[in-house]
Each structure stands twice: as structure tokens, then as C-alpha cells.
Structure 1
């Protein structure tokens, strides 16, 4: 089977959307994040999309120091591609959000392709008791906050993060974000292959209807032709339906507790591994094959784990 027929499964391990009170299974501490990520990798996730959190409060933490123990441990225990967020949380500045990538020099980093509303506050209708005071304030704040990613922000972030050979998972929450990426491609600021992650179902972005998914695919095909690999993620309970639709359109898929806390109607997912197991079965049930980490590296043109900053530091420890 050629690499063009291989499906890359990404697992987004913890994220910054869900708060600790929403699920006892959401990994918070470095040890929990590492253990959950390793389980996902063992189940077939070629890429691990990583955020860090304050181990005491569970609040998103975008300091390079928060990522360091996670990266050091994972780089020595799995060959999965470690993908660092530059999204962080909507409450953070762009300068804060890119620091871990600039310092740790991963193979892959997320890159958000436009400013947008990022509405988390509807979750206040479903959760009434919280362990930490920051949680309801954080959710309510999303009613007025804008997730900033101006054209200048994106250009500066791509230059700073790409200086050491890091490539990008371009997170596109709407059609206009694809055109923003095309703008930077036309200027020669990014080179193929492009890894385009289409995000469906977040309040402020494109919906998760089948027509939305197909429209995103058609537009990306028209703009990037054979120069990109497409992946989809569905927010919340629509996660696997969006994954299935993406697979039928020739896409790769992302799952994980960052995007969805559930494993079925009314049943919390107990781990990231559980979601990757479901995704793996979905891929093989459609007669497709799951990519290994090294196959994902070849498909996306990554520099290899030996050229990351955290692996080199880990080897010296």
C-alpha cells in the first residue's frame, strides 16, 4: 500500500477547552498527560497534539517549563510525532503561545489561521459545579473574548516557529482560513506538503453538517491541489461522525479529549486510548490502513525526532 493510502490518526490529549470539573478522565498533571498520550500512541496515533496544564489547578499553561517534563518523557518512550500547540488558550497572547515551540523546536506545531469568536460559554448550561474558581470565569469570558490570530501574528509566528525546521498543522476553523493559508503560500512563506486540519462544530467557526465538511474539502482541493494532506476534527459528540465523513472524502482524522469528552451517548470517554481505538477500528472498517509515526513523517515532510530540541536535552539529562 502506498503512503497516499495511509491514514494519519492524530490524538489531541488534553487541550484548553475542557476544564477539570467536566471529566475525571481529563489528564492534568505531566504524569497523567504522558500516560494518556502513550496509551493513544500504542493504539495507533501517529501524532500526539500536546498542551500543558497547571498540575494543581488544571488551568492551561503555555510556559516552556510546563512542557519540558512531558516532552522529555514522551520523546524517550514513544516514536510518535510530538505536535506542540501554538493555540494555547484564547486568553493568551500570541507571544505567550509560541514560546514552547520556539524553545523546544518540535517536528510539528499547530498554527491557527485566523482571528475568530471561540465560544465556550454554552457549556455553563451543562455544568453547574466547579472545582476551581477559574473554570466558570474562563468559560464565561469566551462570550466577549476574541481568539486573536491577525495576519501579522500568523506571519511572525510562522517565522519564529519555523526557524528550526518545525512544520505546521494549519488549523482552519472556517473557509476564510483556507484562503489565508493560500495567501501565505502565494507569498512563498510556507512550502508543501501542507497539513491542513479542518475544525468543525466550534461556536464561531464552520458547522459540522456534511455539506460543511464537503465544502471545506472542495475548497482546499481547489486551492492546494496535490500539495496538501487534509485532516478533520469534530468538536464534541459529533467527533466520530465527522471523522467518518472525512475518511470517506480521503482525509485523515484527529480525535482526543481536547476535542470531545464522550465515547458514546451519555458515556464519558475513560481515556484518549479509547478514542483512538474507536478511530483505528473506523479506519480499518473502511478498508484503509493506519499510518505509523515514520510514515506520517514521510507524508508530511517532517525533520525527524532527532532534530528536536527536547530530545537533545533529554539525552543529556
Structure 2
């Protein structure tokens, strides 16, 4: 069991609109400000979806905005910068492959197609395989997103076919309680962890919505790490909206400290994940 806890903050996501939730950070300035405060509160990694303020703050994979966001976060923080290659569920596969051109430290790699509410999040094996190889070539560390138990088996297949990712570490994130994916229950999380390939060196978990706290507590108890943020959870408590991502990071940090696994620094997160140091370029 790790003596400390990697806290990932996912501040924005692609589903919630700015009109419905004005406190959601969507501009570059807001994302950087959130990242800076969350790092101070204990976050070690920021998982980023980029929005376009000039187009109703909708999700975008515009290469200039992606690169500018990575650079701004790198200049303002020491956080591991991870770009989502999922984008919006409506983004075409070919556009999602271009995310790595922005040279993030890490990228998400979702290990299978799934129903995503009323939509379908497409991740055919050929796309996953191509993304994995490109990440190896560009020296970007993937975080394998597991929304269901079948995704764990797909991860096994990827490792068998392509070997270890760049950096030699294998970090996965269980995303639970998405309508269409694995439920946000302790039993489901335990089943997923028990299935992980032996090459996995670390794992984290997040519970969408009401499963947020039970999954966080279970992950800490089992030696896992945490992901929190307004991408996954807009409510701090019943009837109480999250006003800033730092609230969720502070609570996660307190919970981790109480469990005697305090938050790890961004520098330790880099070691845990085996990321390439691109700072100062």
C-alpha cells in the first residue's frame, strides 16, 4: 500500500454546460486558477478537458487551445498535466488522436466502448491500440480509464500486444457510476481491482455523483488513489453545490490524511507515474 495518495483533480469535463453551472471553470484563466489552488490543497495531477469560451464554452479539441492550456498549466503549476483524449462523446476518433500533439505529460486512454447516459462513448479496439502506440512514440504516459470490467480485460490485451507504456509504469483509473458503466459500489470496485493485470503499478478511482464518497473511502482502504472534481461531482452535499474544485480536493486530502495516507506532492506523482519532465522547455 502506498504511504501517500495521488489526488487527481478533474475540474471541468465535457458534459456540464457553463449556462447550467456558472462556477464551472471553462476559460483558460479559470482552469489555471483552479489548478493552482488545487495543487496547494494537495492535488498532484490535473485531468483537463478544454472548452471554447467563444462558442458557448463547448468542449473543443482545437490544437492551439490544447497546446496553450498545457503550456499555461506547466508555467503556473508543477502538476502532472493530463489531457483527455475522450473529449466529448461526439468528437470523431481521428480528432481525438491529435491530442497528443500538444505534448501533455499524460493522456487518458479509455479501454472500451460503453453506453454513456443516452449517448455512446466510442472506443473501438483499433483506436485504443493506435492511441497506445502513439503515446509510446511521443513519450506520453497513458492513464487507462476503466468504466467496466470488460475494460480491464481490454487493458490486458493492450499490454500483451504492445508491451509497457512509456516510462514503464501502468496507472489505471476506475470511473464508476456512469449510467451504462460499472456501478459505484464497493463490491464493483473490489471486483475490478482483483482483475487488474500484474503489470499495474498504481490505480485510482472516482465515483460519479452520490457514489463519490463511498468510492473514495473504499479506494483509500484498498491502497488506491483518488480522483475528484466538478467533472465527476457537482454537489458537495445534499442541497449544496460545489463552488470551486478546491473544496473537493481539500475534502479528499483530509480523508486521505485521516487514513494516514496523506496527499503526495506533484513531484512524487511524477515519480509514481513515470512521466517525462517537460518543464522548462
Whether the TM-score (by the shorter chain) exceeds 0.5 is yes
Give the structure 1 partner of residue 160 of structure 2.
Answer: 186
Are 1:230 and 2:206 an aligned pair?
no
How much has 1:272 moved relative to structure 2?
A: 0.8
Which is worse superposed, 174-183 or 288-297?
Answer: 288-297
Are 1:200 and 2:199 an aligned pair?
no
Instruction: Point out the structure with the larger helix share.
Output: 1
Matches within 5 A, 1:139-288: 143=118, 145-191=119-165, 192-220=168-196, 223-224=197-198, 227-288=200-261
8 Å CA contact 2:70–2:104 kept in 1: the answer is: no
Give the structure 1 partner of residue 272 of structure 2.
Answer: 299
State how far apart, in whole Å, the 2-side matches of 1:49 and 1:188 are: 24
State how far apart, in whole Å, the 2-side matches of 1:61 and 1:215 are: 35
State how far apart, in whole Å, the 2-side matches of 1:241 and 1:202 are: 15
TM-score (norm 1): 0.84
Long gaps (5+) in structure 2: none
Q: Secondary structure at the match of 1:163?
A: helix
- Residues 201-238 of structure 1: CA deviation (Å, up to 9, x unaligned): 00110001221111111111xx226x420100111132
Aligned-pair RMSD on alpha carbons?
Answer: 1.5
Long gaps (5+) in structure 1: 120-142, 313-317
Give the structure 2 partner of residue 61 of structure 1.
Answer: 60
- Residues 155-213 of structure 1: CA deviation (Å, up to 9, x unaligned): 11112233121011100000110110001111234344210100100011000122111
Q: Secondary structure at the match of 1:171?
A: strand
Matches within 5 A, 1:1-80: 4-56=2-54, 57-80=56-79
How much has 1:53 moved relative to structure 2?
A: 0.5
8 Å CA contact 1:105–1:161 kept in 2: the answer is: no
How much has 1:36 moved relative to structure 2?
A: 1.3
How much has 1:302 moved relative to structure 2?
A: 1.2
8 Å CA contact 1:182–1:224 kept in 2: the answer is: no
Give the structure 1 partner of residue 96 of structure 2.
Answer: 97
How much has 1:34 moved relative to structure 2?
A: 1.3
TM-score (norm 2): 0.94
Give the structure 2 partner of residue 136 of structure 1.
Answer: none
State how far apart, in whole Å, the 2-side matches of 1:108 and 1:159 are: 14
Which is worse superposed, 21-30 or 276-285?
Answer: 21-30
